Amino acid sequence: MPLLETRGVTVRFGGNTAVDDVSLTVAEGQITGLIGPNGAGKTTMFNTITGLQKPASGQVLLDGADITKLPPAKRARRGMARTFQRLELFLSLSVRDNVRVAGDVRRSTGRRRRFDLEAETDRILERTGLTDIADQEVSDIPIGRARVVEVARALMTSPRVLLLDEPASGQTEQETEAFAEMLTGLAADGLAICLVEHDLPLVMGLCSMIHVLDYGALIASGTPAEIKESPEVIAAYIGTEEAA
């Protein structure tokens, strides 16, 4: 059974259908890709899964339980974490405190009340390779590393599902390499990762399952090899002959 699942999710903004009847799955211990051209509805999908956006119809299930009606905070407490495409870091806090505050919240809500906040923060900073800039103001660091801070903050909630919205954009090649390695490691530890990303080689290399959105509709799902061969995907990305 997949850990995260959407069934027939439809989102409308006024008369505009941003997401149209999308059903997809994200499995434990794997990296699942969600790709598509700009405006395909990827971020809207993330917002719906995390509860920031109410769907017009459809369901979101986490571990088999229907969470469609739950507010974002409750979903987070059930093990859902995400990063934002438009960075949403806490600008008045340092890098370390951005990560630590996730632990503060965890403590205050009574989940695993007893854990060593400092040690856990250090461990996450170490794992994400942020130790060297831990005490800098988050507004002073380059955007590529700021995206990693978002990932570190999300990891601090000890999630079961991690939704990453274009985490590699703005990263240098070396940063992306290290980042990919880290994601593989996290998935190997059993985390379910859903990755929205425009860097196709990265997605193809990392993901074991890929969903493709176009104009709000799911046009293909499958392994990277299958996706590469899919005529619908090629049409969406490169355009059909008539359109060209």
Partner 1 sequence: MTTFLTYTILGLVLGAVYFIAASGLVLTYNTSGIFNFAHGAQAMFGTFLYWQFTNVWGWPVWLALVIVVGVVGPAMGAALHAVIMRGLRGTAEVTKIIVTVAVLLGTVYLAQWAWNPDEAYTVDMFFGGGAKITVAGVVVRWHEIVCLAAAVAIAVGLRILFTRSRTGVVMRASVDDPDLVRLNGHDPERAAMLAWALGSTLAVLAGVLIVPISGGGLDANMLTLLVIDAFAAAMFGRLRSIPRTFAGAIVLGLAANYVLAYMPSAGTFAGNLRVSLPMILLFVVLVVLPQDRLRGAAVRTRERYRPPTVRSAAVWGAVLVAVVYLYSLLLSDGGVSTLALGMSFAIIALSLTVLTGYAGELNLAPLAFGAVATVVAFHFGVRGSGLAARLGVHGVLLGVLAAAVVGGLIALPALRLRGLYLALATMAFGVFLSNMVLRDTTQHELFGVTFTLFPGGSLVIPPPKLGPVDLRDGTTFLMTATVLFALIAIGLAALRAGGYGRRLAAMKDSPAATAMLGQNLVRLKLGVFMISAAIAGLGGILMSAATGTVAQENFTFTVSLSLLMLVVVAGIGYISGALFGGLMAGVGGAVLVGTFGDLALEHEGPAEIFTALSHLVMVLTALVGMGVGKNPSGVVHDIVEGYRAMRGAKPLLYGAAAFGAVLYVLAVTGVIGSWTFSLIALSVVMLLPVVGRMVLEEGRKRETPLELLGVDEPYTDDVRARLDQELGLPVTSVKGEVSATA
Q: What does the binding site for partner 1 look like in residue numbers (CB under 8 A)?
A: 50, 52-53, 71-74, 76-77, 80-82, 84, 86, 88-93, 97, 100-109, 111, 117, 153-154, 156-157
Q: Which is nearer to partner 1, 155 or 236 (CB)?
A: 155
Q: How many CB atoms lie within 10 A of CB 13?
A: 11
Q: Are 88 and 82 in contact (CB under 8 A)?
A: no
Shortest separation between residue 128's beta carbon and partner 1, angstroms: 16
Length of the chain in residues, anyone? 244
Q: Which is nearer to partner 1, 3 or 236 (CB)?
A: 3
Joined together, the tokens standing for residue 201 give 């080689």
From the list 77, 74, 59, 45, the residue with the least C-alpha distance to 195 is 45
Joined together, the tokens standing for residue 185 give 């490691």
Q: Which is nearer to partner 1, 104 or 135 (CB)?
A: 104
Shortest separation between residue 200's beta carbon and partner 1, angstroms: 27
Q: Characterize the bridge pairing of strands 192-196 and 209-214.
A: unpaired
Shortest separation between residue 88's beta carbon and partner 1, angstroms: 4
> What CA dihedral angle connects 115, 117, 123 and 126, to 10 degrees?
170
Instruction: Round to whole Å and give the CA distance between 124 and 115.
Output: 14
Residues contacting residue 217 through CB under 8 Å, at least 6 positions apart: 20, 21, 22
Q: Which is nearer to partner 1, 97 or 175 (CB)?
A: 97
Instruction: Round to whole Å and give the CA distance between 79 and 104.
Output: 16
